[in-house]
Amino acid sequence: MATRDNSRIQSSGPSELSRNRSSRFASGGSLRRSFNRRYPAPNLRAAPDTLNRSKSYVSPGKQTVGDKLTRHSNAALIAFLLLIFSVPAWGHVGSPDVFLEGNAGPYKLFVTVRVPQVIPGIAQIEIRSESNDVREIRIAPMQLTGPGSQYAPTPDVAQRSTTDPQFFSGNLWLMEFGSLQVRVNVDGARGTGQLAVPVPAVAQRTLPMQKPLGILLFLLMVLLGFALISIASAAVREGDLAPGAVAPAAKVRRARFALVIAAIVVAGILFIGGEWWKADDSRFARRVYTPPELESTLTPDGHLVLHQKPALISAGNPRRPADAINFDNLLLDHNHLMHFFMIRMPQMDSFWHLHPAPDGHGNFSLDLPSLPPGHYQLFADVVLTSGFPVTMVGQLKIPELKGKTMTGDDSGTVAIPIARSAKDADAYTFADGGRMIWDRGSTPLKSGTPLSFKFEVRDKDGKPANDMEPYMGMATHAEIIRSDASVFAHVHPAGSASMAALDLAQMGGAASPQPSQQDAMAGSRSVDMPGMNMSSMDSSGHVSPDISFPYGFPKPGLYRIFVQIKRAGRIETAVFDATVS
């Protein structure tokens, strides 16, 4: 997803290095082999091209002349090492990583996919099994939709942790942008099972070249350049002289001429190389994903029209077209084509989750409810037909406004402003006296750690609420927003992947479903979605007052979490603040 994240690349600790340095990346040759092994057949021919191009992916924003000279195979190797040793920084509208809780057959898994910052790049897969009867877990990357989703590559075996036998991890190369998936196959005492994890793969940034490396390469360039010039001139001057003989004046003159010619040739090579580097760099820069902007127009009577701005999500694969944001062709994501969120900034005290509808002219529109006036940050979630989830961002100033009454799945709340100093509360009281309690556990919240968020809903008498209902087919919808709006995640009990993408993934990568199929899927999901975390819902749709979802904060900071539930026909939104270190 998108990069609104300015965080710098973090330095890699020793453990990070050793985790990434698996033997198959030791040399270029084995790298190529491993790539062919793990990638679906239709892409094989694209492989060398993609592979060679990857050296540009470490090209810096600010380059020294030396940086531009690295056009050799060892430079490509260095580039790969840089890629391998980089730790994912965080993007999305803050959150590129995928957290998923689901069932691979009889085995309940908690899967984290740490998406690389650059594509091609290495995704880190971490899997925790709830039970201890798992013998082996295999993982493989592939496209989520289209022909590439039909040909699973040979999977890799995930390594079992030596200290924690229920924890498995592995690294996978993601060679393409766009809508991918990681297939997780489990073999154990209770038979086999499969879970497909949708992974939106985008380049989040251009990795800068490390300064010492740039200086080293620059010096090498100077050395090699001068060496080449002097060899050329020395060869002309002394190439056919007897040992110890002195070069005649004519040869000395010709040698000077050769020196000038060699210098011009070297300068020309450097110039062409520099231009090549720049072209490659800008081509990659165009593929770095930033959240598409959402344009909005508000009429005085509170009618809001949302326009798309054309944006393409490159596939990075010449055989696969780029994904376009097209408001006329989206997937239904838990019953709606668009989930639209408004939050008043910077207080984060007025929060709305609305569902605009297509207006038939390529736009989405809705009548706003009565909102407190102010400056609002907008987030709009849609899912492209490839299963790629897009969060568009925008800003809107809301004047004093007499809005319409909310209907259907629309909801919102006004709470106290977010405060940096106060100790974060772990209970939220609803208007009817009922409460939601956050079981924060004893350890402080840390960024970069996959967490299971657990909440308990109590009625006004303090007893577990027995009037919980599914809200848009699920026990809860939670929105997690950083205080500077640089992180936005829309999370469900099954995790941070979009529900529409999950539907596609569990269908086994059939081509994009038709709307009728989607309706059937949406309908069936509210009762039972195979593979998904429905632990807080039973087959009759009864919802437990204990709700949970997996998520990991992408970076430290202050976050506000809106946990939305439905009780006795009312949609309620609990508000929690989280200080993350």
Q: Can you give the binding site for Cu ion, defined by CB under 5 A?
A: 477
CB 290, min distance to Cu ion, A: 23
Which residues partner with 500 through β-bridges? none
Q: Which is nearer to Cu ion, 38 or 477 (CB)?
A: 477
Q: Which is nearer to Cu ion, 140 or 332 (CB)?
A: 332
Q: Which is nearer to Cu ion, 205 or 477 (CB)?
A: 477
Q: Which is nearer to Cu ion, 4 or 477 (CB)?
A: 477
CB 122, min distance to Cu ion, A: 30
Q: Which is nearer to Cu ion, 209 or 489 (CB)?
A: 489
- Distances, alpha carbon 537 to alpha carbons 148, 466, 494, 495, 547, in Å: 34, 12, 12, 15, 9
User: Tokens 């709006």 belong to which residue?
Assistant: 485
Task: Give the span between the Cα atoms of 172 and 158, in whole angstroms.
Answer: 10
CB 498, min distance to Cu ion, A: 9
CB 492, min distance to Cu ion, A: 6
DSSP reduced 3-state for 306: strand
Q: What is the DSSP string of 407-431?
A: -TT-EEEE-PPP-SSSPPPSEEE-T
Q: Is there a contact between 371 and 403 (Cβ–Cβ < 8 Å)? A: yes
Q: What is the DSSP string of 214-260?
A: HHHHHHHHHHHHHHHHHHHHHHHHHTTSPTTPPPPHHHHHHHHHHHH
The tokens describing 142, both together, are 């592939």
Q: Which residue is nearest to Cu ion (CB)?
A: 477
CB 333, min distance to Cu ion, A: 8
Q: Indicate the angle between helix axes 28-38 and 73-85, nearest 10 degrees.
A: 60
CB 437, min distance to Cu ion, A: 21
CB 391, min distance to Cu ion, A: 12
Q: Which is nearer to Cu ion, 68 or 477 (CB)?
A: 477
Backbone angles phi, psi at 275, to 5 degrees: -65, -40
Long-range contacts of 356-362 (CB under 8 A, 24+ apart): 356/304, 356/306, 356/380, 358/327, 358/328, 359/305, 362/307, 362/308, 362/327, 362/328
Q: Which is nearer to Cu ion, 336 or 344 (CB)?
A: 336
Q: Which is nearer to Cu ion, 55 or 477 (CB)?
A: 477
Q: Which is nearer to Cu ion, 110 or 549 (CB)?
A: 549
Q: Which is nearer to Cu ion, 320 or 477 (CB)?
A: 477
Report the run of H or E that residue 438 belongs to, with start and end.
Answer: strand 435-439
CB 353, min distance to Cu ion, A: 8
Q: Which is nearer to Cu ion, 125 or 472 (CB)?
A: 472
The tokens describing 430, both together, are 């609803």
Task: Spell out the residues 6+ positions from residue 119 whose beta carbon is closer than 8 angstroms to its own.
Answer: 57, 174, 175, 176, 177, 201, 202, 203, 287, 316
Q: Is there a contact between 559 and 577 (Cβ–Cβ < 8 Å)? A: yes
- Distances, alpha carbon 303 to alpha carbons 306, 403, 404, in Å: 10, 9, 9
CB 334, min distance to Cu ion, A: 5
Task: Spell out the residues 6+ positions from residue 152 whose beta carbon is closer than 8 angstroms to its own.
Answer: 40, 140, 142, 183
Task: Give the span between the Cα atoms of 160 and 167, in whole angstroms.
Answer: 6
CB 402, min distance to Cu ion, A: 28
CB 490, min distance to Cu ion, A: 5
DSSP reduced 3-state for 73: helix
Task: Give the span between the Cα atoms of 39 and 155, in whole angstroms.
Answer: 9
CB 382, min distance to Cu ion, A: 13
Name which of 206, 208, 381 is nearest 287 in CA terms: 206
Q: Which is nearer to Cu ion, 67 or 333 (CB)?
A: 333
Q: Which is nearer to Cu ion, 477 or 482 (CB)?
A: 477
Q: Which is nearer to Cu ion, 22 or 535 (CB)?
A: 535
CB 477, min distance to Cu ion, A: 3
Q: Is there a contact between 206 and 152 (Cβ–Cβ < 8 Å)? A: no
Task: Give the span between the Cα atoms of 438 and 180, in whole angstroms.
Answer: 33
CB 515, min distance to Cu ion, A: 19
Q: What is the DSSP string of 120-189?
A: SEEEEEEEEESSS-EEEEEEEEEESSSGGGS-PPPPEEPEEPSS-TTEEEEEEEE-S-EEEEEEEEEEET
